[in-house]
Amino acid sequence: MTSTLPPPAAPTDTPAPPTAARRPRPRLGVGTWIAAALLGLVLLVAVIGPLIAPHDPTGVVGLPSRPPSGEHWGGTDSTGMDVFSRTLAGTRIDVAIAVFSTLLATALGIVVGLAVGMNESRRGPVGMAARGLSRLLDLLQAIPVVIIGLVVVSFFGTSTVTMILAIAVILMPIQARLTRTEVLRVRGDAYLDAARQAGQHELRVIVKHVLPNSVRPALLNVSVILGISIVLTAALGFLGVGLPPPTPEWGSMIAHGAGDAAVGKWWSAGFPAAALCITVASASVLTHRFTVNRVG
């Protein structure tokens, strides 16, 4: 054993390699600005909608099935309730259900994705449970989402909380699978072993290193599932398992007014349908704009 290898290299302090030049940030198009303005308007109406509604959104305020007029800007539905006021008031409920169900689905999805991804290749009961949970996520994604919603609402009844839970259950597997995929990529990286060698508890290794390195796709997907949850809320309402009347909710209003639309009284379903389209379309445009620029 001799020391005849070359002497250590001289101290080095090489400058950081020049980082790749950032791509010039593309200009925001007119469509993006319009979508942002419309979504901003929707969120504003969600906050102050019931306050600025010209009529009581849950009461009979006029003759049934009257067309739009100066007294009733959106006309009245078949029971005499003001369509415009109900559309404004319904914004809060639909947006609230969408936002809370998206947050719940994302939080649960990230936790489940971390748990499954970190444990599914382990031996023993923990690994078996993780693999079972992974197959359950596959199963949940294979079942049509509306059916899951119908089952959850049938079991727990119809209320705002139930709707949030039902939609969160539907959307959670999407976020969980995105997170799991990233965890599978990250979990073999040597810096996790280095963190364990630094004496850190396994839970701390997951929270400090695995989570930050695997959560980005799920966070980027939040805007996508926000749009899906608005449509799902309306879909469950349209199928008659949404919030019961007279609670103003777009899906229920569309279902209730669909029969009138068939005989030419378009306004009962037309105004909530327009509000739904504007919200989902503007959210989709903004989602596309930002995810393409961030990921693409």
Partner 1 sequence: MRLLRQRPAADPVGDRGLVQITGESLEKTFVVNRARHRAVAAVDVTIGSDRTIGVIGESGSGKSTLARMLSGLEQPDGGTLDYNGVPLGHHLASQTGRRDFRRAVQLVSQDVSSSFDPLRTLRDAVRTPAMVLCGLESAAADQRVDEVLETLQVSPAMADRRPHEVSGGGQRQRFAIARALVVRPRVLLCDEVVSALDVSVQGAVLNMLKDYVEQNRAGLFFVSHGIPATAFLVDELIVMQDGEIVERGSTDEIVDRPQHEYTRFLVAAARRSGRIEVVAS
Q: Distance (Å, rounded) from C-alpha 29 to C-alpha 110? A: 33
Phi then psi for residue 22, to 5 deg, are -65, 140
User: Per rule CB under 8 A, is residue 13 in the interface with partner 1?
Assistant: yes
User: Per rule CB under 8 A, is residue 122 in the interface with partner 1?
Assistant: no
CB 221 within 8 A of CB 65: no
**Options 144, 199, 264, 296; binder of partner 1; rule CB under 8 A:** 199
CB closer to partner 1, 191 vs 290: 191
**Options 29, 47, 128, 204; binder of partner 1; rule CB under 8 A:** 204
CB closer to partner 1, 10 vs 63: 10
User: Per rule CB under 8 A, is residue 128 in the interface with partner 1?
Assistant: no
User: Per rule CB under 8 A, is residue 7 in the interface with partner 1?
Assistant: yes
Q: Distance (Å, rounded) from C-alpha 93 to C-alpha 52? A: 15
- The minimum distance between CB 17 and partner 1, in angstroms, equals 5
User: Per rule CB under 8 A, is residue 17 in the interface with partner 1?
Assistant: yes
User: Per rule CB under 8 A, is residue 63 in the interface with partner 1?
Assistant: no
Angle formed by the axes of helices 250-262 and 267-295, to 10°?
Answer: 130
**Residue 280: closest CA among 219, 217, 218, 224:** 224
CB atoms within 10 A of CB 183: 24
What are the tokens at 8?
A: 């250590």
User: Per rule CB under 8 A, is residue 189 in the interface with partner 1?
Assistant: yes
DSSP annotation of 208: I
- The minimum distance between CB 197 and partner 1, in angstroms, equals 6
80-95 in b/e burial notation, b at 16+ Cβ within 10 A? ebbbbbbbbbbbbbbb
User: Per rule CB under 8 A, is residue 295 in the interface with partner 1?
Assistant: no
Task: Write the CA distances from 180 to 130, 211, 217, 294, integer angstroms.
Answer: 11, 11, 10, 21
260-276 in b/e burial notation, b at 16+ Cβ within 10 A? beeeebbbbbbbbbebb
Binding segment (CB under 8 A) for partner 1, from list 9-17, 51-59, 65-73, 263-271 = 9-17
Total binding residues toward partner 1, as defined by CB under 8 A:
35
User: Per rule CB under 8 A, is residue 197 in the interface with partner 1?
Assistant: yes
Binding segment (CB under 8 A) for partner 1, from list 86-94, 140-148, 209-217, 265-273 = 209-217
- The minimum distance between CB 179 and partner 1, in angstroms, equals 16
CB closer to partner 1, 213 vs 284: 213
Q: Give the footprint of partner 1 on this chain (CB under 8 A).
A: 1-14, 16-17, 19, 188-191, 193-201, 203-204, 209, 212-213
